[in-house]
Amino acid sequence: MTNLADRYSDIKAQIEALTLQLDAVKKEIKATGREQIVGDRAIVTVGLSERTSLDTKLAKALLTPEQVAACSKVALIETLYVKRIEWTDELVKTK
User: What pLDDT digit, counting tens, does each position of 1-44 carry?
Assistant: 569 999 999 999 999 999 999 999 999 999 999 999 999 999 99
Percent of the chain clearing pLDDT 70 (strictly above): 91
The residues, any chain, with a CB within 8 Å of residue 29's CB and separated by 6 or more, are 37, 44, 46
**Residues 62, 55: Cα–Cα separation, whole Å:** 11
pLDDT at 90 over 90: no
Q: How far is CA 50 from the centre of its chain?
A: 20
94 versus 56: the higher-pLDDT residue is 56
**Domains contained in the chain, number:** 1
Please answer whether residues 12 and 82 qualify as being in contact, where contact means their C-beta atoms are separated by less than 8 angstroms.
Answer: yes
> What pLDDT sits at residue 94?
58
The residues, any chain, with a CB within 8 Å of residue 25's CB and separated by 6 or more, are none
Full residue range of the structural domain in which residue 59 is found = 2-94
